[in-house]
Structure 1
Amino acid sequence: MDAFYLPDPSNPNRFESTELTRGPWSPDAQHGGPPAGLLAHAIERCEPRDGFQVGRVSVEILGPVPLAPLTVEAKVARPGRNVEMIEAQLSSDRGPVMKATAWRIHLADPPLELPDSILPTGTRPGPELASADVNFPTTQKVGFHTAIEYRFVEGSFTEPGPAVCWIRLKHPIVAGTDPSPLERTMAAADSSSGVSATLDWNEYIFINTDLTVTLHRHPVGEWVCLDAVTYPQPHGIGMTEAAVFDQQGPVGRSTQTLLINRRT
């Protein structure tokens, strides 16, 4: 296994899911990060245009993603001279499991001359200063948690509350390709609710129904940093938001809507 997904030689839209996609809860279901990265993979290859960049991706999770072959399709749903919308759908043999919309935006050429005072600033201590956390709460021996590297600046999986965590993919999303900045960010951002969990993993479930990532700048390098916080509510609906960084500074934000309940 050298990637999360293996392309099907007979169908460019179909991919074999490897064990590296497995999530923490079930041996037969995927973590949300790899399929979000696969959707990003398809979105960026949908009628690509020079001088354009994806600024936002919103993913709706329609149900558990099985550890099985998947088909991904993308199309330009709303063409435009400067802004266009792309729709993508991920399906198993049982039907759609995820869908996404993305805004692709024309980059200013030449770049705008903006004062430094209005540009986003700030950094987080780099991954070389963070601690690796191997206490991922799962009984699965192989999965997404073994295919990425977590390094916590603040918090940990065993320390409930907000966290600052660097994440690096050890493998490409699709075999034979290099993960793009968008693929890396989508795959990492789905872990925001996990790294910043405020409730005991053994007593509660907190499942995200969606993932929205907005990037004002695509990250550089292999590491993506999540400065994440989760807000639970007694009625069982919560949310997670994260500021997203690379080693040069801020790149965007992510949000997730959560279903929260007691374990039965």
Structure 2
Amino acid sequence: MADAFYLPDPADPNRFVSTELTRGPWSPDAQHAGPPSALLGHVIERCEPRAGFQVGRVAVEILGPVPLEPLTAQAKVVRSGRSVELIEATLSSERGPVMRANAWRLKLAEPALDLPMEFLPTGHRSMPTGTEPAMFPSTQTIGFHTGIEYWFRTGSFSEPGPAVCWVRLKYPIVAGTMPSPLERTLAAADSGNGVSAVLDWSKYLFINTDLTVTLHRQPVGEWVCLDAVTHPQPHGIGMAESALFDEQGPLGRSTQTLLLAPRG
């Protein structure tokens, strides 16, 4: 088994070979949206990097199933500025674009703002310790579920409803690199609709068409916590939202628009 979600192509710096670790729960030939979202974050952070700037929001549009094939990831600055800039990134297969993302990169305050203590990070969720990680209910031997660890504080995959779940990458997004805080967060945040599922996996699909992550600070450590809830509606449109935390406290929020439909 590969030791990363993607392998860089030595002949093309924009091309990445997808490994089996990217496989999602809906089809053996399609990726979970977490790894390609993190891959978009990977190229966004490397796009004309500027010292003293940090990504504050990433909005990912999922244009269709992401095939388990080599992908081309490209990013460019489309709106530059002294304090904020907008970056666009595209992920494409041989058949064309499969995901797009917009990211706002903001200038960090220097010196740091003198804020009241109430606005500073404080511990909020207990870290995983001394407990076996949860196993994702998948029929696939290798996939995203084997490339990460889930650790539930409340809820579970077999218990429908809201959940508080810690998520950790077991492998780098791109081989030969260390996952950045943004990559870890994007990979984890796309599991919000899975950990807080309210519909029976065997009877329904609840596929997200997008992922928006807003961060007011970067996570610390390997684990990202999702305090997640799913809101289904009988007309077939739903939403999942997650409050994001690390060991030091709140990080931001993520949302996903969901297509709900019977299987088969």
TM over 0.5: yes
Partner residue, 1:107: 108
CA distance in 1 between counterparts of 2:3 and 2:263 reads 34
TM-score (norm 2): 0.98
CA distance in 2 between counterparts of 1:245 and 1:118 reads 14
CA drift of 1:132 comes to 1.9
What root-mean-square deviation, in Å, do the aligned CA atoms of Structure 1 and Structure 2 show? Answer: 1.0
Partner residue, 2:62: 61
Per-residue CA shift, 1:223-254, capped at 9, x if unaligned? Answer: 00000000000101000000000111111100
Q: SS at 1:127's partner residue? A: coil
Alignment-mate amino acid for residue 87 of structure 1: E
Unaligned runs of 5+ in 2: none
Per-residue CA shift, 1:11-58, capped at 9, x if unaligned? Answer: 000000000000112111000000000000000000000000000000
CA distance in 1 between counterparts of 2:142 and 2:3 reads 13
CA drift of 1:117 comes to 2.3
CA distance in 2 between counterparts of 1:147 and 1:77 reads 33
Per-residue CA shift, 1:65-120, capped at 9, x if unaligned? Answer: 00000000000010000000000000000000000000000000000000012446
For 1:80-95, what aligned pairs fall within 5 Å after superposition?
Answer: 80-95=81-96
Alignment-mate amino acid for residue 82 of structure 1: S
Q: SS at 1:150's partner residue? A: strand
Per-residue CA shift, 1:212-232, capped at 9, x if unaligned? Answer: 000001001000000000000
Alignment-mate amino acid for residue 58 of structure 1: A
Partner residue, 1:172: 172
Alignment-mate amino acid for residue 169 of structure 1: L
For 1:223-242, what aligned pairs fall within 5 Å after superposition?
Answer: 223-242=223-242
Is the 1:23–1:30 contact (alpha carbons within 8 Å) kept by the matching residues of 2? Answer: yes
CA distance in 2 between counterparts of 1:129 and 1:256 reads 31
Partner residue, 1:74: 75
Q: Among the aligned pairs, what percent are the same residue?
A: 74
CA distance in 1 between counterparts of 2:170 and 2:120 reads 32
Count of matched residue positions in the alignment of Structure 1 and Structure 2 = 263
Is the 1:131–1:153 contact (alpha carbons within 8 Å) kept by the matching residues of 2? Answer: no
Alignment-mate amino acid for residue 57 of structure 1: V
TM-score (norm 1): 0.98
